[in-house]
Chains A and B, each alone.
Chain A
């Protein structure tokens, strides 16, 4: 059986599944339950500076969108950092770490952007024997207005500065949590790297309004007739998170910087995909908040079984394997030609491929009187939309037109040579080969 033990920044955990800093990790009671369920580690709910804690709203703090059968696809929240006293959190962290020495326990921190504030809290955190810290530069609501959270994460210079302070006053690993609420995630990642961060974690939640109550004419969740943007997470944000992870993993300036991936991880497969893109471990929140802590069991068994099937004995064996295959559009091979193929045996004759192609794409699917659907090779541009709208997985596939054969659409022979936009004659900036 595959070994899921993970060494992330020297922090060992029995598996790569950590709970992200969020409501599930707000207190000892929850974290103990999480560890009993099998989670490899937790990032404790973000600590603030000593003194009167923040307060949360007393109305609803979550909004959601759903798919079929009310399956939760996206969740947003307007909860702030921990609203419990710092001292209580530190005591609980100390106890939990003592009782679960084999699990990772990371302290998430958000204090004002002042050196003294960090100097003050870091030794306190160190006393808990936590394995490391995560700097919350991502929270998009409530704290940002006070110059913290994403207000820091959106300014690379601040990220570097605070990271440097932490590296100066704390001797265990420092993870910088990045906000996705920026234009290009590579800049804050580079800043963290420049500040000597040991790792970045991403993504934090995305600014969002999940729904508008059309009776109250106000965003949900509605508090006293008003709503505000919250932080979006859950399965819906995974594609955005994966792109950001990949961007950092393949950026020459940050290549090799350890990444703790966060964003919609619900099953083992999601985790495997993030790890293949370069993540060293993953953090989970929404799946646990939707289904409870036991979801980690499927993540563990599923990842383990898949690794066994693939012959991978540890996470390291496939970590980052997909990263080199993430490229820029301009380098994609324009001589790779495919055509859609519809399996008549698998087709249930719903006609969605036809409607999609005929109405919105290239009129490349024919329908016969008895509802047999077929691809017109002379029209098919291989867009793949039919594959994606077909309700039967595997019914429509994309088949490569081998080199030497004629592409019926262009009338040209398919070349066996790589040819991208960089060398294409239509490209005014093409470079001669």
Chain B
């Protein structure tokens, strides 16, 4: 018997299984062939296309859309994957509204861009349905590369290196590869176990050995890797989570949003996943939105995102904000956590209104309280467990444009490295580009 929205405390099964299934369906249904043809036909095939410029992986978007128009989605997929081997996932999770689609000339002309993301998915799905990996390895170089972290950056680097003939060992701390694709993105953006299927498909190229349960720090050291391999690529992500530094932070019911999302993504049965009646998510990025929306979809009655600055400063795009609002999440701006109340478990959160004074968030003294049996912290992740030999910049591993760290023979990319936005697509670009530089360095 399903619990209701109103059941107090943290309960599993607030919604019947069929509602949960509906709620966690694809955010955007895939195009059928005719829809894809109509959507593709809207592309103007721009000269020096702005969309391509806006894509962190520089996918030749007009070219792939033209290939869809020509009836060859698999050729389109090849064009995409040439630049972005995780083009399938990026088609699902890229904030296209702030990237390619934002600068689409049809966005300027009529406020309705060509649906590049969905077309990319149409193409990559068509290719992946065929199952085959379209890339092959060149002759073996005899060189070996260690890649640490099997998230988007590590996978992109490993694939490119393998393609170029190097032998790659990919070390992953968790029992599954994929990084945030597998553990950190809303389930409705990666349905039917897509992240894992994409990894399996990617690894078909060969030449990549994955060693699970291997984390930098224990038996795995940078020195050791540097000795054992011809090059090292670090893509260890951001393992730490910022603390609220608020009283009551340690009571039960207060958790990291990333942990909640990971648990949800790995849950075999969402009806068994407990969720509170009243939930407050602290933060303003994509993680906050993913945690809030999924809480709502699990059946929480009241879900609030509390963000300490104004709407415009929010990390989540306007599209994501609207998505949250459409699912019934309440967005509160200019409020910051002051205290979490509750003896052994959270029951209320006290928020203080803020104003921005000289660019700094400042409390006004006025407070309010919201019922909260769960509080999710989503105020940013931090680098954790990085080798001490590496120079840092802005709290991340310092790299140059090619991904080189301060230590010779060691490259880094993805969220753990400096530069670029913390997006899947950016991580792929960094992994790919570092791989090319590693290749040049090894073969030079």
Contact = CB atoms under 8 A, between A and B. Distances in A.
Nearest to A68: B41
A69 interface: yes
Contacts of A351: 46-49
A352 B47 contact: yes
A357 B50 CA distance: 19
Contacts of B49: 351
Given A69-B41, A350-B105, 13 more contacts: A69-B38, A349-B46, A349-B105, A349-B108, A350-B47, A351-B48, A352-B44, A352-B45, A355-B47, A367-B47, A371-B48, A391-B44, A392-B109
Interface string B9-25: 00000000000000000
B106 A348 contact: yes
B360 interface: no
A350 B46 contact: yes
B34 interface: yes
Contacts of B108: 348-349
14 contacts: A68-B38, A68-B41, A348-B105, A348-B108, A349-B46, A349-B108, A350-B44, A350-B46, A350-B47, A351-B46, A367-B47, A371-B48, A391-B44, A392-B109
Interface string A229-253: 0000000000000000000000000
A140 to B, nearest CB: 30
A23 B78 CA distance: 46
Contacts of B47: 350-352, 354-355, 367
B103 to A, nearest CB: 9
Contacts of B50: 349, 371
A70 B44 CA distance: 17
Contacts of A371: 48, 50
Nearest to B40: A68
Interface residues of B, number: 15
Main secondary structure of the interface of B (DSSP, over half): helix
Interface string A67-80: 01110000000000
A352 B46 contact: yes
A348 B109 contact: yes
Contacts of A391: 44, 109
Interface of A: 68-70, 348-352, 354-355, 367, 371, 391-392
Interface of B: 34, 37-38, 41, 44-50, 105-106, 108-109
A371 B108 CA distance: 13
A110 to B, nearest CB: 40
Nearest to B43: A350
A49 B42 CA distance: 51
A270 B367 CA distance: 69
Contacts of B48: 351, 367, 371
A353 to B, nearest CB: 9
B101 to A, nearest CB: 14
A391 B46 CA distance: 11
A367 B41 CA distance: 25
A348 B44 CA distance: 11
A352 B109 CA distance: 14
A367 B47 CA distance: 10
Contacts of A392: 109
A348 B42 CA distance: 14
Contacts of B105: 348-350
A367 B46 CA distance: 13
A350 B37 CA distance: 20
Contacts of A68: 38, 41
A393 B106 CA distance: 14
A69 B37 CA distance: 7
Nearest to B45: A352
Contacts of A354: 47
A200 to B, nearest CB: 39
A399 to B, nearest CB: 23
Contacts of B106: 348
Nearest to A359: B47
Contacts of B44: 350, 352, 391
A324 B110 CA distance: 40
Contacts of A70: 34, 37
Nearest to B107: A348
Contacts of B46: 349-352
A354 B45 CA distance: 12
Contacts of B34: 70
Nearest to B38: A69
Nearest to A346: B109
B127 to A, nearest CB: 21
A348 B110 CA distance: 10
B31 to A, nearest CB: 14
Contacts of A349: 46, 50, 105, 108
Q: Which 10 A-B pairs have the closest CB atoms?
A: A351-B47, A355-B47, A348-B109, A68-B41, A348-B105, A350-B46, A350-B44, A350-B105, A348-B108, A69-B38
A70 B47 CA distance: 26
A385 B66 CA distance: 21
Nearest to B110: A348
Nearest to A351: B47
Contacts of A348: 105-106, 108-109
A350 B50 CA distance: 8
A349 B44 CA distance: 10
B265 to A, nearest CB: 38
Nearest to A353: B47
Nearest to B106: A348
A219 B45 CA distance: 30
A69 B109 CA distance: 20
- In this complex, the member of A69, A349, A350, A355 whose beta carbon has the largest number of chain B beta carbons within 10 angstroms is A350
